[in-house]
Structure 1
């Protein structure tokens, strides 16, 4: 996918028409993916840039590091130097503010489209525990079925909890294990027994069967939404 640099709106020539062309080219690519129901990494990238623009708009003297995983130390130092030069130039700042206002206005509908697709995919997902769920269900397996396909994509998962001064957050790490072709005999229960037999490090795992009733792009849409939905399901049930 086409991508924007972290500081696309202040790098190089600060010219509204030029930046407008760069932005619209990027959004055209994003919307092309959304038209095919391909959400990731497009939605994550779009939200990152939207928040980055808001950070600059409301705090022009320092960089709020909302997404430190996207920035190296060199990135941050370069941004600080650029900020210092721009703040001293009223005409450049006025042009940048016009670029930011235009970009936020154009990005917002695309973000809403992405969120609507996400909600639609999530509404067509069903999550069921397979057998008894252990008291600590934060590690285990989930089997993912895409619409009418017979293939079950099986992943091992581990839910992690991290927190800042205000709140706790849950993340999920996954590892692809195998595929199983579902049949009358190869049921989710049979798949669970086979996983326990083959993988001794989880003798009593939590196992979930996650299925969509519509086909979606697996890697770009179904799997990312399924991961987040599983975290919500387990968190609410635990």
Structure 2
């Protein structure tokens, strides 16, 4: 896919038409992914670029927390230094602001398309507990049924809770265990019993089934959204 560098505003030729070409090529590639119901990683990448753009527009500075984990603190500090020099150059900054004014509504429009796709997929997911749910919900199995429901992807999940002074965040990690073709004789409940027998490390696991009602790509849409759905569901159980 045609990607957009993290520092696309400042690197290379600082020319409005050139930056416009870069941006339009990137957004066209993003929309192509959305058209194939592929949300990730392009949606999170798009959000990062938009947030960065808004920070520059509103505060004339970069914020490290807005960048993805793949950028190191050293890389960020180098980028921040380059940007600071640009801010101090009125003529260059005027060109940057022209690009920002052009790019902002285009990013907003594309983000809205991604949001609509996300909500469409999320609204066609059904989540239910499998068997008796134990008190501890932050570790267990996720059964993910792809449409039209002939296969179940089995994942081991772990939810981690992060806290700061103001808020509490939940992150989730998954490990693919197996792919199962289910039939009348192999229900979600039977599959859970089978896993308990085979994997003694989780004798009483929390287990949830997420069922997709529409066909969407597993890795690029279904799994990431199912994971977020599970996190929200578990958070309600723990409230």
Structure 1 position 213 matched with structure 2 position 213: yes
Q: How many residues align?
A: 237
Q: Is the 8 Å Cα contact of residues 196 and 203 (structure 2) preserved in structure 1?
A: yes
Q: State the alpha-carbon separation in 2 of the partners of residues 6 and 164 from structure 1.
A: 27
**What's the counterpart of residue 188 of structure 1?**
188
**What's the counterpart of residue 229 of structure 1?**
229
> What is the Cα deviation at residue 63 of structure 1?
2.5
**What's the counterpart of residue 135 of structure 1?**
135
**What's the counterpart of residue 91 of structure 1?**
91
Q: State the alpha-carbon separation in 2 of the partners of residues 124 and 84 from structure 1.
A: 46
Q: State the alpha-carbon separation in 2 of the partners of residues 97 and 235 from structure 1.
A: 41
How does 1:46-65 map onto structure 2 within 5 Å? 46-60=46-60, 62-65=61-64
How does 1:152-191 map onto structure 2 within 5 Å? 152-191=152-191
> What is the Cα deviation at residue 14 of structure 1?
1.1
**What's the counterpart of residue 35 of structure 2?**
35
Give the alignment's Cα RMSD to 1 decimal: 1.2
Q: Is the 8 Å Cα contact of residues 51 and 66 (structure 2) preserved in structure 1?
A: no
What is the SS of the residue equivalent to 2:65? coil
Q: State the alpha-carbon separation in 2 of the partners of residues 194 and 237 from structure 1.
A: 25
> What is the Cα deviation at residue 228 of structure 1?
0.3
**What's the counterpart of residue 66 of structure 1?**
65
TM-score (norm 2): 0.96
Q: State the alpha-carbon separation in 1 of the partners of residues 149 and 130 from structure 2.
A: 19
Could you tell which deviates more after superposition, 74-83 or 154-163? 74-83
Describe the superposition over 1:65-98 as per-residue Cα deviations: whole angstroms up to 9, x where unpaired: 1235242133222222212321221111011011
**What's the counterpart of residue 44 of structure 1?**
44
**What's the counterpart of residue 3 of structure 2?**
3
**What's the counterpart of residue 203 of structure 2?**
203
Q: State the alpha-carbon separation in 1 of the partners of residues 14 and 176 from structure 2.
A: 45
Identify unmatched segments of 5+ residues in structure 2.
Answer: none
Describe the superposition over 1:9-45 as per-residue Cα deviations: whole angstroms up to 9, x where unpaired: 1112211110000000000000001011110001000
Structure 1 position 111 matched with structure 2 position 111: yes
Q: State the alpha-carbon separation in 2 of the partners of residues 226 and 116 from structure 1.
A: 16
